[in-house]
Amino acid sequence: MPITIETLDDSTCVSIDGELTIYTVAELAGELLPRMSGAPRLMLDLSQVTEMDGAGLQLLAVIQREADSAGTALSVTGQSVAVTQALELCRKAAS
């Protein structure tokens, strides 16, 4: 299973295992997005993500956007090197 979703009290814990890429985004989006509405807190565990590309980045952007608009508190509880590298690449502040 590439994605595990557990609901504890008012938190939804989501962990993604494996690729966060064009090959998996459709399935991940289908599993995850419908479960987001109504959860006051969303915990996202990305520590088991092995690979992340632009499509994965776009999915994270959508999750964040949806969380913001629904007033869900989003927190990332862990991220793998692959995720860190991808996020760093597309978020460089002027220095």
In the complex, the residues that contact other proteins under the rule CB under 8 A are 17-18, 21-23, 25-26, 28-29, 33, 46-48, 50-51, 53-55, 57-62, 64-66, 74-84, 86-95
Find out whether 32 and 46 touch, Cβ atoms under 8 Å: no
CB of 9 to other proteins, least distance (A): 20
Joined together, the tokens standing for residue 48 give 């088991």
Nearer to other proteins, 7 or 65 (CB): 65
CB of 38 to other proteins, least distance (A): 15
CB of 7 to other proteins, least distance (A): 20
State phi, psi for 7 to the nearest 5 degrees.
-115, 120
Find out whether 49 and 78 touch, Cβ atoms under 8 Å: no
CB of 40 to other proteins, least distance (A): 17
Q: Say how many residues make up the chain.
A: 95
Q: How far is CA 26 from CA 23, 31, 43, in A?
A: 7, 9, 20
Nearer to other proteins, 10 or 68 (CB): 68
